[in-house]
Amino acid sequence: MFIAAEGVEHHPLVPIWQELVIGSIAFALLCFVLLKFVMPRMEAMYQARVDAIEGGLKRAEAAQAEANQLLEQYRAQLAEVRTEAARIRDDARADAESIRTDILAKAREESDRIIAAGRESLAVERQTTVRELRAEVGGLAVDLASRIVGESLADEARRKGTVERFLTDLESAGAR
Amino acid sequence: MSGQLIAAEGLPWPPRVEDFYPPDLAGPWVTKFTLMIWLAVGLLIIFFMATYRNPKLVPSKGQWMAESLYGLVRDNIVREQMGNAGIRFAPYFTVLFAFIALTNLFGIVPGLQISPNSHIAFPIVLTAITYVMYLYIGVRKHGLGRYLKQNLIIPGVPWPMHFLLIPIEFLQNFINRPVTLAVRLFANMFAGHLILLVFTVGGFVMLASDNVFIQVTSVFSFLMAILMAFFEVLVALLQAYVFVTLSANYVGSSLAAEH
């Protein structure tokens, strides 16, 4: 065998046909095994990994978007609450103002009323005093007159009329 | 010293084509080259099966390595050359890339020290698959007539020019593509092995010299051999990348709508 092989002259560009056969069979076997049992799983794993990474990115983006949305929402709520607070404050201020005005008005009214009542009672008092004084002055005058003349006037009606007339004259003189 | 002399005397100098054809182990079917092919197939199957037996979303180290390989071919080669429609071819091109890269790297693995791809038979097999694939896909997608028209007739050219252009286009699309694809890979591996032979064997031959000055100079030869071995790693991976990129490009051109 060795001698036979040694004797053959080889040209590097001429293939040995047995090697063509062996090469074909061996490479076909390699392709068959790897393409059937390994490579499909590798591509699947590759896709799964791409999905996992892109899915993770997508999830992160979604979370970010949700966070932004929440932030917006909170900001809106905060602004709403602020306007609400301002409104309440304004309302309270307005209420206080109106209450103050009310109380003032009431107090003024009360004082007016008290003053009026005082005046009225003063007037009544005065009236009464005047009336009493008048009666008293009448009596005193009559007493004085009767004492002066020494006699009681017989005619009651006439006496009354005289006194009344006198007092009216006094009043009208006073009013003048 | 005497042992090295004997070793040096046993080494063939200068390197010849016959250095690429070691004696058969048991007939023409069982040779170093066919065994290396089976070894590569076995290693790749074990590697992928072991690392992908129980895949997880958060990968283990092995799974991560297998996936990096797949990701490289899928995103950097197939998608670049074929667009998203070509993703379904990514598994095949990944297998192709892994196979070529590993068999190329055999060229610098101690004990093997030659790439199976330095025998043109193996690049021919791989090229044939690419060739059949892109012809088949092109014809199936566009129909034979339209596919030929797309590949042979350049639109918007005065008609007499076609006498010149059609043979050129035919040569380019149906002959040059597969031939260059196979020969490029083969020649790179062939030349790489030859370079390593020159510097390694050359170093031993210089060491066996009677002249002390030449014996000392052999150090540079060995250093060069080490340097070239690293360079071969680069070439091995680069050629695998180029082969797969061009294959994807050719198949992608069959998928594309127009010339």
Residue B48 lies in a domain: no
* Domain membership flag for residue B70: no
Q: Which residue has the higher pLDDT, B161 or A175?
A: B161
- Residue B6, pLDDT score: 44
Residue B91 sits at the chain A interface (C-beta within 8 Å): yes
Q: What pLDDT shows up at residue A170?
A: 79
Full 3-state SS string of B94-133: HHHHHHHHHHHHHHHCCCCCCCHHHCCHHHHHHHHHHHHH
| pLDDT value, residue A93 | 94
- pTM tops 0.95, yes or no: no
Per the model's pLDDT, the better-predicted residue between B126 and B158 turns out to be B126
**Nearest residue, CB atoms, A20 vs list B44, B90, B121:** B121
Residue numbers of chain A with a pLDDT score lower than 70? 1-8, 148, 150-157, 174-176
Q: Which residue on chain A is closest to B87 by alpha carbon? A: A43
* Structural domain includes residue B163: yes
pLDDT of residue A48: 87
Asked if B24 is an interface residue toward chain A (Cβ–Cβ < 8 A), one would say: yes
Number of domains into which chain B is organized: 1
Q: What is the mean pLDDT of chain B?
A: 89
Q: Measure the CA–CA gap between B103 and B96, rounded to whole angstroms.
A: 11
Neighboring chain A residues of B18 at a CB cutoff of 8 Å? 10
Cβ neighbours of B29 in A, within 8 Å: 18, 22
What pLDDT, on a 0 to 100 scale, did the predictor assign at position A173?
A: 74
Inside any domain, residue B220: yes
In a domain, B75, yes or no: no
Average pLDDT over residues B82-95: 91
Query: What's the pLDDT score for residue B123?
Result: 96
Cβ contacts of A29 on chain B, cutoff 8 Å: 41
Question: What are the respective helix, strand and coil percentages of chain B, to the nearest 5?
Answer: 80, 0, 20
Quote the domain boundaries for residue B16.
Answer: 2-22+95-255
Rounded distance, CA A56 to CA A74, Å?
27
Mean pLDDT computed over B31-57: 91
Give how far A14 is from chain B: nearest CA, Å.
7
Instruction: Classify residue B64: in a domain, yes or no.
Output: no
Q: Give the per-residue pLDDT at B5.
A: 44
**Backbone phi and psi for residue A15, each to the nearest 5 degrees, phi listed first:** -70, 150
CA nearest A6 in B: which residue?
Answer: B23
Please judge whether A31 and B45 are an interchain contact, meaning their C-beta atoms are less than 8 angstroms apart: no
What's the pLDDT at A174?
67
Please determine, for residue B34, whether its predicted confidence score (pLDDT) is greater than 50. Answer: yes
Q: Structural domain boundaries of chain A?
A: 17-127
> What ipTM was assigned to the predicted interfaces of this complex?
0.87
Q: Note the pLDDT tens digit of each residue in A64-84.
A: 999 999 999 999 999 999 999
**Given CB atoms, is B131 within the 8 Å cutoff of chain A?**
no
Residues of A with CB under 8 A from a CB of B: 1-2, 5-6, 8, 10-20, 22-24, 26-27, 29-31, 33-35, 37-43, 45-46, 48-49, 52
Percent of chain B, pLDDT > 70?
A: 95
Q: What's the pLDDT at B258?
A: 57
Write down the pLDDT at residue A134.
80
Instruction: Quote the CA–CA distance of B57 and A55 in Å, as a whole number.
Output: 14
Cβ contact, residue pair A31, B29, below 8 Å:
no
Q: Could you read off the pLDDT of B180-215 as tens digits, one per residue?
A: 999 999 999 999 999 999 999 889 888 888 888 888
State the pLDDT at residue A130.
85
Q: Which residue of A has its CA nearest to B71?
A: A46
Mutate to test the interface with B, among A38, A43, A50 (most CBs of B within 10 A): A38
